[in-house]
Amino acid sequence: MSWQPYAALPDSTVTGTLLQWENVGDANHAARTVLAWLPPSYTSQPDKRYPVVYLHDGQNVFDAATSYNISEWEADETLTALAAEGLEAIAIAIPNANERRYHEYSPLRHPGFPAEVEGGGGGDDYLNFLINTVKPLADNNLRTLTDAAHTTLLGSSMGGLISLHALLTRPEVFGGAGVMSPAFWACAGEAFDRVKNSPPMTGRVWMDIGGKEGTDHPEQQQAYWDDAHAMRDLLLEKGMGEKLRFQADPEGIHRETAWKVRLPGALRFLLGGE
């Protein structure tokens, strides 16, 4: 098996190459189709290697036709525009496991789930899947820069939580975390305890939040906003300084339409340091 071309997208503003690798899984994770976007210079500069950003909820990253929320991140459009600015990266989109999404993205089992139900706690196994299966697939078949300084994770909501968790627990692999609209409330404060008890972080963190994140969970709308600001303050107390970039949009909602607007700034900071 190898990377294969993905169906052409009908957007003339996109350059670069979109590939897919089918049936990517392991003993603990159902097989899924992983997508890879290669920057415009990938073909014309065969000796060049590129940083990599891994994106969760991969169904929603490149193509609205596969999105379970109808809209997409428009990551290929964003990466095309950034390439024109001279900032190029390979992007790997890993789809979530549908009903197992919460389990895979949560480092902590939620006490509200019955014992016979997978109710979180699969986060570390999911990171092992990324590190031992997905990342080697990319590194062995694409011209990647493999070190932590050039390896970034990015996601929204629960995907933001697992990105921060990866930076805290596997800093030898990941050097940047994009934490968009994080649902800290969903893991009973686990992230706050881990940050408080961890050594100073060496990587970069982009974190953002909207003031209207209650589309799916209106009872948690204020918690989204308050927790994100509290985590910002905690990260600054831990000495993140210029390695942290925080953005708050009072009108921001909990949808791809909001995240795609913030994605260019996030990638500029995580990949280029702006």
The residue length of the chain stands at 274
d(CA 58, CA 75): 10
The answer on pLDDT for 115 being more than 90 is no
d(CA 263, CA 256): 10
Over residues 151-176, the mean pLDDT reads 97
Bridge partners of 34? Answer: 21
pLDDT tens digits, 32-48 = 999 999 999 999 999 99
d(CA 79, CA 89): 8
What is the percent of the chain with per-residue pLDDT over 70, rounded to a whole number?
92
3-state helix, strand, coil in the chain (%, to 5): 40, 25, 35
Q: What are the strands of the beta sheet with 151-156, ordered from one edge? A: 4-5, 17-26, 29-38, 90-93, 52-55, 151-156, 176-180, 204-212, 244-253
When pLDDT is cut at 50, 70 and 90, the band that residue 72 belongs to is confident
pTM for this structure? 0.93
The answer on pLDDT for 263 being more than 50 is yes
Higher pLDDT, 10 or 212: 212
d(CA 155, CA 162): 8
Average pLDDT, the chain: 91
Residue 133 structure tokens: 């299966």
The answer on pLDDT for 13 being more than 70 is no
Over residues 178-205, the mean pLDDT reads 92
Q: What is the DSSP string of 65-82?
A: GG-TTS----HHHHHHHH
Low-confidence winner among 65-69, 86-90, 261-265 (lowest mean pLDDT): 65-69
The answer on pLDDT for 112 being more than 70 is no
Higher pLDDT, 139 or 187: 139
CA atoms 190, 259, 72, 137: torsion sign = negative
pLDDT of residue 118: 67
**How many C-beta atoms surround the C-beta of residue 86 within 10 A?**
8
The answer on pLDDT for 242 being more than 90 is yes
The answer on pLDDT for 188 being more than 60 is yes
Which stretches of 67-154 are DSSP H helices?
A: 75-84, 101-105, 123-129, 135-141
The answer on pLDDT for 11 being more than 70 is no
